[in-house]
Amino acid sequence: MANILLITDYYPPRKSIATNRMKAFEKYLSQMGHKMFIITLGDKDSCIVDGTTTIYYCQDDDVIKRFDTNIKESAWKHYLKCVWNIVFSNMYLYSTSWVKHIVGVANEIVQNNHIDVMITSYPTIGTMVAGEKIKVKYPNIKWIMDMRDAVWSPGSSERVQDKMLCITNAVAKRCDAILAVSQPHLEKYSKMASSTTKLLVITNGYDFDVPVINRASRNGMFNIAFTGNFYGALSPHYFFIALSNLVRKRKIEDIRFKVIGNHSVLSVPGDIKLFVEEYDYMEYSNLIEYCADNIDLLMLVIPRVRERGIYTGKIFDYIGIGKPILGLVPKDDVAAELISQAGNGYIAENENVDEIEEAIYKAYMDWKNNNVPQINKDVQETYHRRIQVAKLDGLINEILNSK
């Protein structure tokens, strides 16, 4: 089996969907017999051995940094942080200190261990820059670029996007394989790669035992939940209009919309304030259990302005939970396709109030009539992290055995 160096900004104790992906890589590749070495961001320089995995936490010494907006705080402070982060993103592509630190620690690891494979995970682009430097120095190491996000994603200025794409185009030609989270993303990255680069879709997924749902029990209220943050165009604006219409028409009264773990300011129309409840962040395992036991419909929002090929990480948690999904998503993209394959969802364009209103009411009436759609178990199993990482294991074996 292989000695694998994984370079990522996201790893426990840092909490994010990106962290969940990286932890799954480490967990299941280790179970499959590989020895893992992790280089990741930390508050201070330290080295921890966890089973067969060695984790190197490296401090980023750059003085100017992004603010953490995943904190419940006053509206003005949150907005100021968001403004600064936008300014920061348009000024700094990556931390040169972080890149230098990665390369230094990687040199130490390679000199003391025979590293077969290096995986760098984007974001940030600094991991790719560091990966290229390591690949140039150690060309026999097989390099897999894990592109968890789209480099061309809107949110940065055109100047910054051009620079990011320029870097990606350059480094993609040096790597041995590229991973992407969806087929549309992979097709774009394939145009940057060399003719010999291996290409593979590794979606995100869920990493918990599928909960047992008691179909006989039903809550007194029809509970819809959104988990995570609203920000920018990812907003409940159109959903609120649709819900307000249903309440005004007296088509639905026994309903609650629960927003769990949102750190931005939520503006709820006055006529539906009584129907909307906000909950603080829940630990991941507690959130899964809560949704399985208390929620009837799990809501997903992907605005049309986002790039193609977006699933969002929470869709896979929803698939794992197995409760019906309300997908306010582009009907011609991957999230809608997955919800359709799962067979237990209701789909509406996020910007179409009439469609949203119809979808909510259809889900409500199915719940009312005990006609709740059941998830396709084969589709559900496919998106367990274990299954997705097994595909990565196959790729690792393939590139190590290729000439």
Instruction: Print the SS3 string covering 162-230.
Output: HHHHHHHHHHHCCCCEEEECCHHHHHHHHCCCCCCCEEEECCCCECCCCCCCCCCCCCCCEEEEEECCC
Q: What is the pLDDT of residue 110?
A: 97
Q: What is the pLDDT of residue 351?
A: 97
* pLDDT, tens digit (0-9, with 9 covering 90-100), for 343-364: 999 999 999 999 999 999 999 9
* pLDDT, tens digit (0-9, with 9 covering 90-100), for 79-94: 566 655 555 565 567 7
Kindly state the tokens that stand for 194. 């060399």
Q: What is the pLDDT of residue 63?
A: 46
Instruction: Specify whether the CB–CB gap between 298 and 375 falls below 8 A.
Output: no
What pTM, to 2 d.p., does this model score? 0.90
Please check the confidence at residue 398 and state whether its pLDDT lies above 70.
yes
* pLDDT, tens digit (0-9, with 9 covering 90-100), for 302-325: 999 888 999 999 999 999 999 999
| Right CATH for 3-205+384-401 from 3.40.50.2000, 3.40.50.300, 3.40.630.30, 3.40.50.1110 | 3.40.50.2000
Measured CA to CA, the distance from residue 350 to residue 359 in angstroms comes to 11
**Within a 10 A sphere around the Cβ of 288, how many other Cβ atoms?**
21
* Delimiting residues of CATH 3.40.50.2000 domain(s) in the chain: 3-205+384-401, 222-382
Q: If you average pLDDT over residues 143-154, what whole number do you get? A: 90
Q: If you average pLDDT over residues 15-21, what whole number do you get? A: 91
Q: What is the pLDDT of residue 66?
A: 60
CATH architecture assigned to 222-382: 3-Layer(aba) Sandwich (3.40)
Q: If you average pLDDT over residues 127-139, what whole number do you get? A: 97
Kindly state the tokens that stand for 223. 């509970």
Kindly state the tokens that stand for 24. 């799954």
* Biggest CA pair distance of the chain: 70
Q: If you average pLDDT over residues 32-56, what whole number do you get? A: 96
**Mean pLDDT score of the chain, rounded to an integer?**
91
Q: What are phi and psi of 348, to 5 degrees?
A: -150, 145
